[in-house]
Structure 1
Amino acid sequence: MADKTTLCNLALSALKTSERITSIASGTTVAEACALHWETIRDEVLSMYPWNFCTLYKACEKRDAVPLVSSACEHGLTNDVLRVVCVYGPDGLKMDAPGEWKRVGRSIFCDEQGPIVVKAICRVEDTTLWSPVFVGAFVARFASAIGPEIGKSKDAVTQYQLYEQKIATAKTLDSMEAAPPEVQPGEWEIAHMG
């Protein structure tokens, strides 16, 4: 996929401006707007949806610190974790009971001694690893952020609406790359089908 400069230029093109940058650090007004918003918008769009390319399973070791939350154990998260989707205990089972775990800052608190594993959305800085669908959503959201700074507020609103559409599309496309979720039979099915 494209590098930072190309992605910035795609956003500028989406805003219908003829301005382009040669580097995000070139010092022009447009490049400064791109540099200002790059990390924030990247992390925001990554966090909005569990994109396949940035959803990882990570082991979290117990910290020796005195727990601050009741009798819970504290397990550390790495700095690249943007959002925790779910937590698995040492037995490999998903911890999904209400209140079974809680994220506080860079830690997960739970009653398990560990190690635990988190399914997390992680920061991916290497743009060559980004999926094409993510690139489309990122460019639209990035254009909506830099647009007002370069006099393209009206086009920025249009780009934000496009971004919302692209997130909806991503949910459809990404869901096609996984097995359907297991459906547990309800009382009616059990009573009528045995």
Structure 2
Amino acid sequence: MSSDIEICNIALSRVAVTKAIASFTEHSKEAEQCRVFYGQLRDLVLQAFPWPFAESIVALADLGSPAPGWQYRYRYPANCLKVRDIVQPGWRGPLTADQQIPYKIGYDSGGRVIHTDQPEAVCRFTFRVEDSTFFDPQFADVLAWRLSMDLALPLAAKTDLVQFATQQYQMALTVAEASAFEEAQDDPEPESEFITVRA
């Protein structure tokens, strides 16, 4: 798996910067720019898609005292970057449009909360992954392209490289999304009542 520094060096090379960095703390313009952008862009790429390696499903902690218009108020999951779905306990399949449970993110004195009408709610979310040894290789590739988008102007001063990196980022993200969908197998559809009766 790629390290943070390796991902940065890939991004630098993609915008024609030949000087590699050895750490975020070294005294160079390249290291300074990577240090400025890396953490924020890593989180943005994690939020861009429900990456399987960064997915968690947890039962939410009921806080009581629901807000007006809602039946329940839950604590926002720790280390959550983006809530994907609120589901019922035991639910694991993809949600159709009519199965999606309404929710809204809010705040109280303890931090972020989730308002919903679902009792015993379970949350599927993307969490912050800071250890690059857990990164999916395709995620590392997408992150390097995203980083190159922001490094192109301050380090290479070429707008055409920004456009090129943007196009490559979108393509890499599309490929990664398609690959991620191949890593899951949904439960088989139940047979219709008509077929069951005939059997």
In the alignment, is the contact (CA less than 8 A) between 1:136 and 1:166 conserved in 2? Answer: yes
Q: What CA distance in whole angstroms lies between the structure 2 residues aligned with 1:58 and 1:9?
A: 36
In the alignment, is the contact (CA less than 8 A) between 1:69 and 1:109 conserved in 2? Answer: no
In the alignment, is the contact (CA less than 8 A) between 2:85 and 2:101 conserved in 1? Answer: no
Residue 20 of structure 1: aligned partner? 20
Q: What CA distance in whole angstroms lies between the structure 1 residues aligned with 2:7 and 2:18?
A: 15
In the alignment, is the contact (CA less than 8 A) between 1:62 and 1:76 conserved in 2? Answer: yes
Q: What CA distance in whole angstroms lies between the structure 1 residues aligned with 2:7 and 2:99?
A: 41
SS at match of 2:66: coil
Q: What CA distance in whole angstroms lies between the structure 1 residues aligned with 2:168 and 2:4?
A: 20
Give the direction of change, closer, same or farther, for the CA distance of 1:48–1:183 in structure 2 (3 Å limit).
farther
How much does 1:77 deviate? 1.8
How much does 1:97 deviate? 4.7
What amino acid maps onto 2:106 in structure 1? V
Residue 109 of structure 1: aligned partner? 115
- Sequence identity (%): 23
Residue 67 of structure 2: aligned partner? 68
Deviates more, 1:151-160 or 1:11-20: 151-160
| One of 145, 152, 172 as aligned partner of 1:147 | 152
Give the direction of change, closer, same or farther, for the CA distance of 1:82–1:182 in structure 2 (3 Å limit).
farther
Q: Does 1:92 align with 2:94?
A: no
Structure 1 residue runs of 5 or longer lacking an equivalent are none
Q: What CA distance in whole angstroms lies between the structure 1 residues aligned with 2:51 and 2:190?
A: 26
Q: What CA distance in whole angstroms lies between the structure 2 residues aligned with 1:161 and 1:93?
A: 37
Q: What CA distance in whole angstroms lies between the structure 1 residues aligned with 2:100 and 2:179?
A: 30
Q: State the TM-score, normalized to the length of structure 1.
A: 0.83
Number of aligned residues:
188
Residue 9 of structure 1: aligned partner? 9
Q: State the TM-score, normalized to the length of structure 2.
A: 0.81
How much does 1:70 deviate? 2.1
Output one character per residue of 1:99-137: Cα deviation in whole Å (capped at 9) or x when no partner. 6322335321113443x2211111100001001111111
SS at match of 1:82: strand
What amino acid maps onto 1:168 in structure 2? T
Considering only aligned residues, what root-mean-square deviation do their CA atoms show, in Å? Answer: 2.7
Q: What CA distance in whole angstroms lies between the structure 1 residues aligned with 2:91 and 2:122?
A: 10
Q: What CA distance in whole angstroms lies between the structure 2 residues aligned with 1:93 and 1:180?
A: 12
How much does 1:68 deviate? 3.0
Q: What CA distance in whole angstroms lies between the structure 2 residues aligned with 1:125 and 1:29?
A: 23
What amino acid maps onto 1:179 in structure 2? Q
Q: What CA distance in whole angstroms lies between the structure 2 residues aligned with 1:97 and 1:123?
A: 27
Residue 47 of structure 1: aligned partner? 47
SS at match of 2:9: helix
What amino acid maps onto 1:25 in structure 2? T
Q: What CA distance in whole angstroms lies between the structure 2 residues aligned with 1:54 and 1:5?
A: 20
Residue 163 of structure 1: aligned partner? 169
